[in-house]
Each structure stands twice: as structure tokens, then as C-alpha cells.
Amino acid sequence: MDKVNIAHKLSRFSDHWNPRIVGELNGQHVKLVKLKGEFIWHSHDDEDELFYVLKGELRMEFRDRAVTLRENEFLIVPHGVEHRPVAADEVSLMLFEPKTTLNTGNQASDRTRTHLESI
């Protein structure tokens, strides 16, 4: 039951597309991740995902539109909805999603991260 300081946790890693776990509650994980570049198209069969921009700018692409998120904005992507995160420059995000959530959802890929570090 210690508090979590976001800036401190973000200072502990610099790689992209590799979420860290910083909290757990009610079967959900709180994660931090840094993104740069384009991800793969994917969806999650069962999990809704919340993307909260801490620093930078995130473009979330859907098949029919895109949403640009800036600092202190968040977006909830419901399960079953195909999406692709894109970041022209580095963006730092907080994610809130079920513990079962895989980063690449239903698309097994070399970008899939199956074992996430808790920091």
C-alpha cells in the first residue's frame, strides 16, 4: 500500500512498446508504457482498454477514423474494436485494463509481450 509516483516510475525505463505493471486492483492492472512509431492492428476479444496520455501525443487509429490524444486526455477502446496506436514522437501512457490483457490482443506477433515486469 505504497503510493506510486508516475514521474519516478517513468524514469525507470526507456524502451518502447514494453508495458510495466505499476498497480493491481479488482482484477485489473495499471501499467505504464512508452510508445514511438506504429503498432500493429489488433483487438481484444474480452478486454476494454483505457489509454491515458501522461506526456506527448498519441494517435489512435480505428478502421474508419482516428483520435488524437494529448496530455491529460484518455480514451476507452471497447473490446472487439480494431485499433492501432501510432506515436510520431515518444508518448508516455498509463493503461488501465484487465490482468488478462495482451498488448497485441488477438494478433500473436513478435511484438507480443507475455511477461510484463512490475516496477
Contacting residue, 40, 57, 59, 75, with a copy of itself by CB under 8 A:
75
Residue 96 interacting with a copy of itself (CB under 8 A): yes
**By rule CB under 8 A, what count of residues binds a copy of itself?**
32
Instruction: Give the x/- contact pattern for a copy of itself in 45-64, rule: CB under 8 A.
Output: --xxxx---x-------x--
Tell me which of 11, 14, 15, 25 binds a copy of itself, using CB under 8 A. Answer: 25
User: Minimal distance in Å, beta carbon 71 to a copy of itself?
Assistant: 9
Query: How many whole angstroms separate alpha carbon 58 and alpha carbon 32?
Result: 14
Question: CA 47, 52, 55, 61: dihedral to nearest 10 degrees?
Answer: 60
CA angle (46 as vertex; 75, 58 as ends), nearest 5:
25
Record the cell numbers describing residue 50, joined without a space.
Answer: 483505457
Q: Is 30 in the site for a copy of itself (CB under 8 A)?
A: yes
- Distances in Å between the Cα of 40 and the Cα atoms of 60, 61, 99, 111 are 11, 10, 21, 8
Q: What is the contact surface with a copy of itself in residues (CB under 8 A)?
A: 1-7, 23-26, 28, 30, 47-50, 54, 62, 67, 69, 72-78, 81, 96-98
